[in-house]
């Protein structure tokens, strides 16, 4: 029988804390700032309860997909 396991996160950040963490992680991972178009993705990630690193990973993966398609 399959069981569903959920992972509880410890991320109870305010919007300000979340955006600062995302911007810092994005700078570390890419060496650049977040594009203005990506802030909608950051907001969606915050509302869904993603971790900051999960948000940054999603932004980078999405950008890589667009670059490969072009």
Whether 52 and 25 have beta carbons less than 8 Å apart is answered as yes
Instruction: Kindly indicate the confidence band of residue 63, based on its pLDDT and cuts at 50, 70 and 90.
Output: confident
Q: Is the pLDDT of residue 69 over 60?
A: yes
Q: Let me know if 4 is exposed, middle or buried by CB neighbors in 10 A (0-12, 13-18, 19+).
A: exposed
Could you tell me the maximum CA-CA distance found in the chain, to the nearest angstrom?
Answer: 46
Rg over alpha carbons for the chain, rounded to the nearest Å, is 14
CB atoms within 10 A of CB 60: 15
- Per the model's pLDDT, the better-predicted residue between 62 and 5 turns out to be 62
Give per-residue pLDDT as tens, 3-58: 444 445 555 789 999 999 999 999 999 999 999 999 999 999 999 989 999 999 99
pTM: 0.76
């Amino acid at each position: 029988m399959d069981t569903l396991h959920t992972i509880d996160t410890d991320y109870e950040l305010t919007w300000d804390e979340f955006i600062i963490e995302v911007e810092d992680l994005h700078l570390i991972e890419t060496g650049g700032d977040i594009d203005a178009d990506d802030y909608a993705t950051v907001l969606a990630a915050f509302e869904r309860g993603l971790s900051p690193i999960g948000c940054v990973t999603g932004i980078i993966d999405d950008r890589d997909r667009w670059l490969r398609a072009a």
